[in-house]
Amino acid sequence: MGSLLLALLLQQAAGEFMDVFGEMEAAGKAVKEADAAAARFKEIFGVAPLRGAIVLTTDGKPAKDRTKDLAYAKNGAKWIWRWEAKKGAEPDETMAHELGHLFLIFWIHGTTPPAPQYGSLLPDWLDEGVASLLECAAGHKGYAAEMRKRIAAETHLPLKDLFGCLHPDSREKSSKPKAKERWLFYAESWSVTAFLLERYGAKAMRHLVATLKEGKSMDTAMGAQGLPKSVADLETAWKAWAK
Ligand SMILES: [Zn+2]
């Protein structure tokens, strides 16, 4: 009985960057999507994410178990994450998005993250922007269309407001205001992050992360690694691109 349980526990799909444990067909699908998200992360920052293991759950099972869970790290995974897999053949975009948050947290903070909060210690717009970059192209088209409309109508967030605001659901104790429009916050976070990556590349993205995780402002990060001299110049270039 014990060895049968272990055999079930270890049914897995091993990927290039990630391992997935679960029923074979679901695990095979999830490992392709998780690996694609990890490869995208590597394109964004020039750094592969820390290897992780995803345990696919059904109604919360298998539950967490400190001793048995060690078996999930057999291929060198440094973190273990449980995910209730979406049914059906469509890509699980939410999984890819959430992996984006986890890749960032473990890259920046290691496997012992600081006090639990929404995402990493990066500003919320960059956390969401990177996570959204890991979703598939259909979602990006929706964000892009929203931003074209918003910029034309001048109802987008000025960048100093985007850079200074919290996620609409944030529980962080802070004097910073929360973003008021959820959809706009997501669309604009994606748009600015996608622009930064496309125009300035992975080196500039690494520079931004290194600067911002120290709690420094976007103004401080400007003028290096090919980035514009000021946030105002960045705003002009981004708006021209997003239109
Ligand atoms: Zn998110």
SS3 (DSSP) at 52: strand
Closest CA relative to residue 142, chosen from 181, 182, 175, 187? 187
Span from the CA of 7 to the centroid of ligand 1 (angstroms): 34
Last residue in a domain, options 78, 109, 140: 109
81-129 pLDDT tens trace: 999 988 888 999 999 999 999 999 999 988 876 555 556 789 999 999 9
In the listed set 75, 109, 143, which residue is the last one of a domain according to the structure?
109
Distance (Å) from CA 39 to ligand 1 centroid: 18
Identify whether 224 is part of a domain: yes
pLDDT tens-digit readout, 155-186: 999 999 999 999 999 888 888 999 999 999 99
Q: How many domains does the chain have?
A: 2
Judge if 86 and 49 occupy the same domain.
Answer: yes
Pair (64, 28) in one structural domain: yes
Q: What is the CA radius of gyration of the chain?
A: 19
User: Domain of 59?
Assistant: 2-109
User: Considering the entire predicted model, what is its pTM?
Assistant: 0.92
98 CA from centroid of ligand 1 (Å): 6
Residues 161/178, Cβ–Cβ less than 8 Å: no
Bond from prior residue into 49 cis (ω within 30 degrees of 0)? no
User: Are 176 and 103 found together in one domain?
Assistant: no
Whether 119 is covered by a domain: the verdict is no
